[in-house]
Amino acid sequence: MPPSAKKTKRNEIPSLENMQFSCSKSNKEGKPPNLTLVSWNINGIRAWSEKKGWKYILKESPDIICLQETKCSDKDVPPECNLPDYYTFWNCGTKPGYSGTALYCKKKPKTVKMGIGIEKHDDEGRVITAEYDNFFFVGAYVPNSGQGLKRLTYRTTEFDVDFTKYLVELDQKKPVIYCGDLNVAHEEIDLKNPSANRNKTAGFHDDEREKFSNLLKSGFVDTFRKLNPSDQQFSYWSFRGDCRSKNVGWRLDYFIVSERLLDKVNDSVIRSEVHGSDHCPIVLFINI
């Protein structure tokens, strides 16, 4: 940085003081939630930390949270992001300042696996799997097909295929809770302007949507859409064009569960009122 240049100070996220982050809903088994699970693409942990985005974690107090697009090695994590009462796990990939995922867990997992065991997919730090006694928790930052759809073929014919196979294999052992920025708006209701973006913009290409459909057909459920079949809510808004205030957005972030877990789900929520990134947090309440 030139001597005369000044670093722009990022504004702290708006106060969470008056926001209610509880769930009073019973699931189909008549039980209240015993786990709160969160996913959030934070678009760089350094910037997120400067905005004090970690205050949201303290307010929501999830049992597990998966962060995506951390863009930071584990040794460079800002100290204020080392939160009390959480075990943390970082999958940083090999390219500094790019991609990356992290888990914060109140209860230590039995095992934690970085990646899916296929080198060409694992060098970008996109997947973390935590094993617990009665479920797998998988957090992912699915590759974006890119400007001009330059990574569409890799994403849909390689990553999506191999990753679905990975989830199915886990599901054969115990139920799966899968979350993250999946970089696809599955249905037209999942973005503001479907006709303008179909097959032109990464995230709403028919091939991406088909692969997501294939995942669901393999024994999984999109919890938000199952519980809210006609609600148009978004989890991502471009920084350009004041999209967030206009609510011109996309639903790119998901909690997906094994079909046999659906009756245990209490609620699946999009925290659109929480700022700190171009994505907002999403929450799954479940009793398992």
Catalytic residue among 141, 178, 236, 254: 141
Mention every residue, 6+ apart, whose C-beta is less than 8 A from residue 221.
Answer: 256, 257, 258, 259, 261, 262
Angle between helices 206-217 and 160-171 (to 10 degrees): 10
How far apart, in whole angstroms, are the C-alpha atoms of residue 266 and residue 287? 7
| Catalytic residue status for 87 | no
What does 184-237 look like in DSSP terms, one character per residue?
---SGGGBS-HHHHTTTSTT--HHHHHHHHHHHHTTEEEHHHHH-TT----SB-
Mention every residue, 6+ apart, whose C-beta is less than 8 A from residue 27.
Answer: 33, 263, 264, 265, 266, 286, 287
Catalytic residue among 160, 171, 181, 190: 181
Q: Side chain identity at 132, as an amino acid letter?
A: Y
Question: Looking at the DSSP assignment, which residues form a beta bridge with residue 88?
Answer: 104
| Catalytic residue status for 162 | no
Active site residues: 141, 181
